[in-house]
């Protein structure tokens, strides 16, 4: 069941009653999925107010190496589960790799990795792969945190109230 006239602030779809709402700055926000709710809770400034209305897509394309090649049945399951996620645009599975294109404003690699774990697909465990995933997680966090931060004051002007005696 959908809530009348309420859209998800993360993806713009109609909100669902089953997904708990979040109160932020004395306003209630409703979501279409738990994934969108999770994104909002992590960075509410990014999805509320003026910043949320001005944003567009931030497409990321990643190739994730798996611990072992997948058979065709698991590949089909993996592709269908990932395509169900908000913000996932393209998924291709081949051998021990998954190529995915997604909108960072709607889904992160950490959320994608959770879905892989839920269906029993293990990621490559070599040190280089673990390092790469950690770097991706940090860089995605930095991008999202920067977008959610309030605009900085201009360095060429004195702050409000400066020089007043």
16 alpha-carbon distance from chain centroid? 19
Euclidean distance between CA atoms 72 and 6, whole angstroms: 40
For 124-137, what is the mean pLDDT? 94
pLDDT greater than 60 at residue 21: yes
pLDDT greater than 60 at residue 2: no
- Residues 43-91 have pLDDT tens digits of 898 888 665 566 688 999 999 999 999 999 999 999 999 999 999 999 9
Residue 150: count of CB within 10 angstroms of its CB: 8
Strands 22-24 and 97-103, bridge-based pairing? unpaired
Residues of the chain with CATH 3.30.70.100: 59-148
Residue 144: count of CB within 10 angstroms of its CB: 18
Euclidean distance between CA atoms 85 and 89, whole angstroms: 9
Euclidean distance between CA atoms 103 and 46, whole angstroms: 14
User: Does the domain spanning 59-148 belong to CATH 3.30.70.100?
Assistant: yes
pTM over 0.75: yes
For 144-161, what is the mean pLDDT? 74
> What percent of the chain shows pLDDT beyond 90?
60
Q: What 3-state class would DSSP assign to 115?
A: helix
Confidence of residue 147 (pLDDT cuts 50, 70, 90): confident
């Amino acid at each position: 069941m959908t809530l009348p006239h309420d859209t998800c602030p993360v993806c713009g779809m109609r909100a669902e009653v089953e997904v708990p709402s979040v109160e932020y700055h004395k306003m209630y926000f409703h979501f279409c999925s738990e994934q969108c709710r999770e994104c909002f809770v992590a960075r509410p400034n990014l999805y509320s107010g003026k910043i949320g209305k001005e944003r567009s897509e931030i497409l990321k394309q990643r190739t994730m190496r798996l611990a072992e090649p997948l058979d065709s049945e698991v590949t089909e399951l993996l592709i269908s589960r990932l395509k169900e996620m908000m913000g996932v645009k393209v998924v291709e599975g081949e051998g021990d790799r998954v190529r995915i294109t997604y909108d960072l404003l709607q889904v992160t690699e950490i959320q994608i990795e959770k879905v892989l774990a839920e269906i029993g697909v293990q990621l490559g465990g070599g040190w280089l792969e673990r390092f790469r995933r950690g770097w991706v997680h940090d860089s995605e966090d930095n991008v999202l945190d920067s977008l959610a931060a309030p605009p900085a004051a201009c360095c060429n002007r004195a702050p409000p109230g400066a020089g007043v005696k």
